[in-house]
Amino acid sequence: LGGVSRATVFWHFSDKASLFREAFNRLTEPFRESLEQSFDELEPEKRLHEQLALYRTYTLQHREALEGFIRWAIEAPVFRDWLITTLLDMHQRFAGALTEIVAEIVPPDQDPEAIATGLVVLLDGDVFLSWFDTSPRRAEERSRAVEAYLAMMPRRRPQNG
């Protein structure tokens, strides 16, 4: 515990659940803050790529810690409900941010929420698969799949003005 006694830790945190929640909140704080960043000065396409890059960077940089928290929650049911609720909340916020951007890119007759959800599913699938398949070649294939999905996304026609 880095030179801190167990008694000191449990004086500050009343129980393991409180310690778990605080540690996870600190781990996910950078991602939550990135969702609040304003990229309004960027064009929608660039904003979309920035949001996707933030997700990828965050999940790559914190892979082991995220994996450990998920494993811990699976093994300790007392943490499971809280973790699932917290992860799903962040997931919805991220999907919401993507939906807002996609709505600016696609024609009005398209469903931006469905398109953004498809992107999130691809990203989540990539993270999940990366836990089992660590091959750099397969990681690159999954990354190209996300780029192919983006390329297939319908775009608004430029307005003549």
Instruction: Give the pLDDT score at 22.
Output: 83
Instruction: Give the pLDDT score at 7.
Output: 60
CA angle 45–48–53, rounded 5-degree value: 125
Mean pLDDT by 10 residues, the chain (161 residues): 58 71 85 78 92 91 87 80 86 93 96 96 92 92 95 87 55
The residues, ordered by sequence, that sit 6+ positions from 72 with a Cβ below 8 Å of its Cβ are 20, 79
Q: How far, in Å, are 10, 43, 80 from residue 58 at the CA level? A: 29, 22, 22
Q: Are 74 and 87 in contact (CB under 8 A)?
A: no
Instruction: Give the pLDDT score at 52.
Output: 94
